[in-house]
Amino acid sequence: MNLYGFPHHLLTPVILIIAASCTLYISLLYFHQAPTIRLPPLTQLVNKYSVSVSVPNVRVYTQNKPKVNFSNVDVHAGKDCGIAVERRFDCARDRALTQSQCEQRGCCYVPLPKSAFSGPPWCFYPVSYPGYRMGPLIPTSRGQEANLTRSTSSYLPRDVPTLTLEVMAEEAGRLHIALKDPSQDRYEVPFVAVPPTTPTDTQSFLYDVEFQPDPFGFVVRRASNGRVLLNTTVAPLLFADQYLQLSTTLASSLVSGFGEHYTGLTLDLNWTSVTLWNRDMAPHRDTNLYGSHPFCLVQEGDGQAYGIFLLNSNAMEVVSQPAPALTWVTTGGIMDFYIFLGPDPQSVAQQYHQVIGYPMMPPYWSLGFHLCRWGYTSTNATRAVVQHMHQANFPLDVQWNDLDYADKRRVFTFDPQRFGDLPEMVKEFHSEGMKYVLILDPGISSTSPPGSYKPFDEGERRGVFIRNLTGQTLIGKVWPGPTAFPDFTNPDAVSWWEECIADFYAKVPVDGLWIDMNEPANFVQGSLLGCPDTDLENPFYVPDMIGGQLNAGTLCMSSQQSLSAHYNLHNLYGLTEAMATHSALLKARGSRPFVLSRSSFPGLGRYSGHWTGDVHSDWEQLRYSIPAVLLFGLYGVPLMGADICGFEGDTSEELCVRWTQLGAFYPFMRNHNDRSNAPQEPYVFGQQAQAAMRSVMMLRYSLLPFLYTLFHQAQTSASTVARPLFLE
């Protein structure tokens, strides 16, 4: 074995790499065609009512309903609080409660020895906790509706006493259940790829639905075997203005999803939680990171699988427990669930992608090797890197520059001294068959003298920036200093952004754009002027997150955008910027765009790729990149990778070689480095290390036709590119 044979401590990641490689080498030229979906008319029984509607088997039980022998639901006799520990659902997600406070909520209080149980709640809902009562289901053009009413208020402020339940059997393998407030128009996520569908009558459903009227809950079964996939009767539905909660048991503990987090391929359900709230945070355990994907895939143990997607962009916490069970708690919007019946894992992913949109087809050149560093401080330094790569006989398709190029770190400019000949350098790269990408942050400097910085002057004139509660442009602070933030939900802002990119492209003909800092990141809390004391800034409940407040490291929640308050739209900021940037590049270049976004939300893959952010140069984060890449394939973002050799901290020769060998099988392959670190370009290492890296790079290039085919299949049939073996 030579110096770079695989050591024992890398055996697990290498097995996964081989698995991914086998998928790439052998299995990836075929793809699964999405079936034609048609729905039959079935009879629905609603108490004493009987109506004919086009829905799956739907049963609504009265109070005297027969017992359902769910294999994963315990029937507890005796007192309301005699509930098995693993099936206790937390009655105090908002704060720690004393026994008297817990009992004032009508909940059970049973302390547990901390040494034996570190996770189960002491304050939990009793079996008979009062909830909503369901009225009769009424047929609609899209399915059925029913009113849900509660006779007593919950402990939550601004309880919503009446809800509308919408049940939409959209396809044989897709069930859509929404809970809304009929008394007011609450915010709903505006970006969904799939249009509303009306069931037809020629194909059997894969699911049955059962409703419990009082307290309200529903059960979803797999029609083929009766297996219970979701059972929401185990805990109460809560719906207040800024607190929405729903719990369910699951058919299995094999759950993957709810990114972006520092996790493995499957989640630990032993009393854990994840927070979905986009944040500028390098990968760390047990905290919220750059993206939010409220989707999970559940493997049932017999090869079948199903998926659950909550279409909601507000701050959210997903709590897991070993029942197995999940609880969603979100701070606004509506409860808008899509349930995908597969029946196999790959079909679940396809059904999910049909809802959020098929991923874009990247340009062929973007599958080659990319090289970047924050610290290429001039065009001469950048040219030297390219020259060294060529002299060392390494393939290099795409050279990048970080923010070093910008004049005073202002986007849409380039430094006249250090990068004065940037346009000429880009043309040189093009003449050599290379491409060029640079970084583009959303923050627009607000302190340049009037008339000297067109992006801000024109943006302010056209009113394209996010406003504070008083209607003034909100000013935060990022790399150039005080900055304004474009509102990409404003059509005028999208037009302005397209014009800014077109003007810059006329000077510097870039081939792609790297949109960073778009959670959006902010170096001050909220704004330079702070944030007002409102319910949006200080809600009743805040999920567990870095900083402890929603506006930590980002904008004021009360700031105003065209569609709604930033409180509702925060998690969509990166997606809306990606949409605008994709459109701008398409118009400027007239060919398929390349966009790479740090922030993400369902649907990002239609417009952009993603990377794992500021990973540290160590073995643990190398391993983390494997499930991260595979999970983003599930999320519909197949153009995905990690900074090869790591971004934060100095790498080592062996780590860089191993990471390059792994990164050769990422769908997106880029070596990127921080400015304060030791160099890590392939040519800086010893000859044996260079030979190992060169060899695996050439192997990747030999496989590019296969990889390109996979992306075509993903774009046309919602298949995945890098995929875990359970999708095969």
Query: From its phi and psi, is residue 726 left (phi > 0), alpha (psi between -120 and 50) or beta?
Result: alpha
- Whether 552 and 317 have beta carbons less than 8 Å apart is answered as no
User: Active-site residue 407, yes or no?
Assistant: no
Sign of the CA dihedral running 590, 596, 597, 602: positive
Q: Which of 260, 300, 516, 643 is catalytic?
A: 516
- Whether 497 and 580 have beta carbons less than 8 Å apart is answered as yes
**Element holding 144 (H helix, E strand):** strand 144-149
Instruction: Please give the angle made by the CA atoms of 345, 250 and 123, to the nearest 5 degrees.
Output: 145
CB atoms within 10 A of CB 340: 28
Any bridge partners for residue 124, and if so which?
A: 90, 108
- Whether 148 and 132 have beta carbons less than 8 Å apart is answered as yes
Sign of the CA dihedral running 413, 416, 417, 423: positive
Backbone angles phi and psi of 357, in degrees to 5: 110, 140
Closest by Cα among 557, 571, 560, 543 to 190? 571
User: Active-site residue 516, yes or no?
Assistant: yes
Q: Which of 145, 171, 260, 519 is catalytic?
A: 519
Length in residues, the chain? 728
- 131: burial class by Cβ within 10 Å (0-12, 13-18, 19+)? buried
Backbone angles phi and psi of 166, in degrees to 5: -115, 125
Strands in 592-704 per DSSP E: 595-597, 609-611, 640-641, 643-644, 669-671
CB atoms within 10 A of CB 626: 24
Locate 325 and state its tokens: 């069970």
Q: Which amino acid is at 501?
A: I
Q: How far is CA 219 from CA 91, 214, 340, 455, 503, in A?
A: 22, 13, 14, 53, 55
CB atoms within 10 A of CB 680: 27
Closest by Cα among 565, 476, 599, 462 to 526? 476
Q: From CA 492, how far away is CA 498, in angstroms rounded? A: 10
Sign of the CA dihedral running 703, 705, 711, 713: negative
**Element holding 207 (H helix, E strand):** strand 207-212
- 310: burial class by Cβ within 10 Å (0-12, 13-18, 19+)? buried
Q: Which residue has the tokens 């006329």?
A: 506
Tell me the CB-side half-sphere exposure of residue 692, using CA atoms within 13 A: 21
Q: How far is CA 392 from CA 98, 537, 697, in A?
A: 67, 54, 13
Q: Classify 43 as helix, strand or coil.
A: strand
Q: Which residues carry out catalysis?
A: 516, 519
